[in-house]
Amino acid sequence: MTRAAAYMRISHDKDGQEFGVGTQRKHILSVIEASGWELVEEYTDNSVSATKARGKGTAWARMLDAAKQGEFDMIVAVDLDRLLRQTKDLVTLIETGAKIVTVDGELDLSSSEGELRATIMTGIARFEVRRKAERTIRANQQRREQGTPIVSTRILGYSQNGLEVIEDEAEAVRKAFRDFLAGVTMWQIGTDLTAAGYTTSRGKPFYMGNVKYLLQNARYAGLIQHIATGETYPGNFPAIVTEGEWRAAVDRINDPSRKVSPGTKPKWLLSGLAYCGKCGQQGMRVSKSSRGYPAYRCTNNSHLSRKAADIEEYVNAVVVARLSRPDAAALFSRGDDVDVDQLRRDRAVAQSKLDGLASLFADGVLTETSVRSKSAELRKELNDIDTRLEASNDSLVSEIASADDVESAWQSLSIERKRLILDALMTVTVLPVGRGGSRGFDPESVRIDPK
């Protein structure tokens, strides 16, 4: 009895329900049954394009391996397009020695006539793919020139067509940018967005990867960005954040000097921030003491260990007291002493230098290594300028200090935001306690220096 393998493929399956491949399966099984063949295996590539490489892990690759092993005689598909759209894939199929059967009829790749028919059909399919791609490129270029966003899926903050702002979502996006520029990690921003009930365009929770995509998306600055070149064009839709905010976020993401916290997230307020009062090193960590309670220890040496809960309670109280003072809301304000016009001129000069690096490299004035080094310096300078320009009374410190109930507002913050504010406000040094000292907590054993 002739042994048959069924192959089903669909390029895009937005909802993941496999309705497309299900319809193909129905037609293929009817052909196999009518022919009296034995179905030995089904191979399904759902949401996989035939115009791209289908390597290891795909049903296509497994089917080719099985065909070479002689595990079946026929490959049955709805039509040739489901199997291939590239000549190299046709050659690969021919080398397996398997026959191809479609709902429209049989293609015997072992004969010269069958191979010619398949080659012509593959060429036509390839022509249609390229013509469609060229039309898409022209249409996208026209949209860019008209300032119309190229919308495939809706993004947070905008309507489905990408032209209208959804205000509550837009405010969440603005907050994400403000938080990121203030030092909040993408992980925490994703956690906050998800906790507030917002999801990605696919209805999934936010995580670091898609928060990074959000912060790098030029559409939030009212711009359209060419994917291949990175060039931006003015859009005919409203911006949610300023171009300065967007560029500052992108530069901060790409800044090689930006610290990325490895491992688990800190669970204690002073972990990694507090200084050891004996050796002067920063980076005390919490670990379990010999008596079983969490204790701050100097990572440089085991010469200092202090009960963590007592220190945390004291420092929390000091922070709340500091944020409750009348001048707290203005701590991170730009102030009148900042020359905004000069900052903008400095930014224009730095941007001009960055834009001119490519020409200097092309003319042989700078080497590739010099260009990379200078580019990193200029991007860091631009990031610093943009951060200063965007700084305002909406900072984390001002937001908490302006609350009606400062203590409640402080306690409601995530540990990450508390640590950012603490690091901006003060330096904490844990001092050693000598022999014969008080068994209770002594505030004098913790030195707090305002910044």
φ/ψ of 41, rounded to 5, equals -165, 150
pLDDT digits (tens, 9 = 90+) for 194-236: 999 999 988 889 988 899 999 999 999 988 887 667 778 888 8
Question: Which one has a higher pLDDT value, 124 or 297?
Answer: 297
8 A C-beta contact, residue 90 and residue 83: no
**pLDDT bucket at 82, cuts 50 / 70 / 90:** confident
Q: Which of 432, 424, 269, 301 is nearest to 447 (CA)?
A: 432
Is 298 among the domain residues? yes
Which pLDDT does position 304 carry in this prediction? Answer: 81
Residue-range definition of the domain harbouring residue 214: 167-254
Which pLDDT does position 414 carry in this prediction? Answer: 86
Which pLDDT does position 288 carry in this prediction? Answer: 87
8 A C-beta contact, residue 406 and residue 400: yes
Question: Which one has a higher pLDDT value, 387 or 207?
Answer: 207
8 A C-beta contact, residue 74 and residue 99: yes
8 A C-beta contact, residue 306 and residue 439: no
Are residues 39 and 181 located together in one domain of the fold? Answer: no
Is 162 among the domain residues? no
Asked whether the predicted pLDDT for residue 176 surpasses 70, the reply is yes
Q: What percent of the chain has pLDDT over 70?
A: 73
Asked whether the predicted pLDDT for residue 142 surpasses 90, the reply is no
Q: What residues does 76 pair with on adjacent strands?
A: 6, 101
Asked whether the predicted pLDDT for residue 429 surpasses 80, the reply is yes
Are residues 65 and 24 located together in one domain of the fold? Answer: yes
Asked whether the predicted pLDDT for residue 119 surpasses 70, the reply is no
Are residues 43 and 113 located together in one domain of the fold? Answer: yes
Asked whether the predicted pLDDT for residue 352 surpasses 70, the reply is yes
Mean pLDDT check: name the lowest of 106-120, 274-288, 419-433. 106-120
Are residues 294 and 235 located together in one domain of the fold? Answer: no
8 A C-beta contact, residue 20 and residue 82: no
The CATH number of the domain where 72 resides is what?
3.40.50.1390
Which pLDDT does position 257 carry in this prediction? Answer: 58
Are residues 283 and 427 located together in one domain of the fold? Answer: yes
Are residues 216 and 351 located together in one domain of the fold? Answer: no
Question: Which one has a higher pLDDT value, 67 or 124?
Answer: 67
CA dihedral over 77, 79, 81, 87, signed as positive or negative: positive
How far is residue 341's CA from residue 339's CA, in Å, rounded to a whole number? 6
Is 83 among the domain residues? yes
**Quick one: which H or E segment has residue 347?**
helix 340-362
Which pLDDT does position 156 carry in this prediction? Answer: 94
Domain's final residue, options 369, 390, 411: 390
Which pLDDT does position 3 carry in this prediction? Answer: 92
**How large is the average pLDDT for residues 7-33?**
73
Are residues 300 and 434 located together in one domain of the fold? Answer: yes
**SS3 of residue 370 by DSSP:** helix
What secondary structure does DSSP assign to 74-103, as a single string?
Answer: EEEESSHHHH-SSHHHHHHHHHHT-EEEET
**How large is the average pLDDT for residues 3-25?**
70
Angle subtended at Cα 371 by Cα 369 and Cα 376, rounded to the nearest 5 degrees: 100
**pLDDT bucket at 258, cuts 50 / 70 / 90:** low
Instruction: Provide the pairing of β-strand 232-234 with 223-225.
Output: antiparallel
Is 141 among the domain residues? no
Are residues 317 and 354 located together in one domain of the fold? Answer: no
8 A C-beta contact, residue 4 and residue 74: yes
**How large is the average pLDDT for residues 355-380?**
81
Are residues 27 and 171 located together in one domain of the fold? Answer: no
Number of domains in the chain: 4
Asked whether the predicted pLDDT for residue 392 surpasses 50, the reply is no
How far is residue 212's CA from residue 209's CA, in Å, rounded to a whole number? 5
From residue 212, how far is each of 13, 73, 180 by CA, in Å? 25, 49, 10
Asked whether the predicted pLDDT for residue 18 surpasses 50, the reply is no
Are residues 180 and 248 located together in one domain of the fold? Answer: yes
Question: Using alpha carbons only, how large is the chain's radius of gyration in Å?
Answer: 31
Domain's final residue, options 127, 149, 178: 127
Question: What is the average pLDDT value for the chain, to the nearest integer?
Answer: 79
Are residues 35 and 99 located together in one domain of the fold? Answer: yes
How far is residue 29's CA from residue 101's CA, in Å, rounded to a whole number? 12
Mean pLDDT check: name the lowest of 47-56, 98-107, 412-421. 47-56
Which pLDDT does position 357 carry in this prediction? Answer: 82
8 A C-beta contact, residue 430 and residue 311: yes
Domain's final residue, options 127, 144, 178: 127
Asked whether the predicted pLDDT for residue 389 surpasses 70, the reply is no
φ/ψ of 76, rounded to 5, equals -110, 125
> What angle in degrees, to the nearest 10, is found between the helix axes of 308-323 and 415-425?
70
How far is residue 198's CA from residue 168's CA, in Å, rounded to a whole number? 10
**pLDDT bucket at 317, cuts 50 / 70 / 90:** very high
**How large is the average pLDDT for residues 298-320?**
88
**How large is the average pLDDT for residues 142-166?**
77
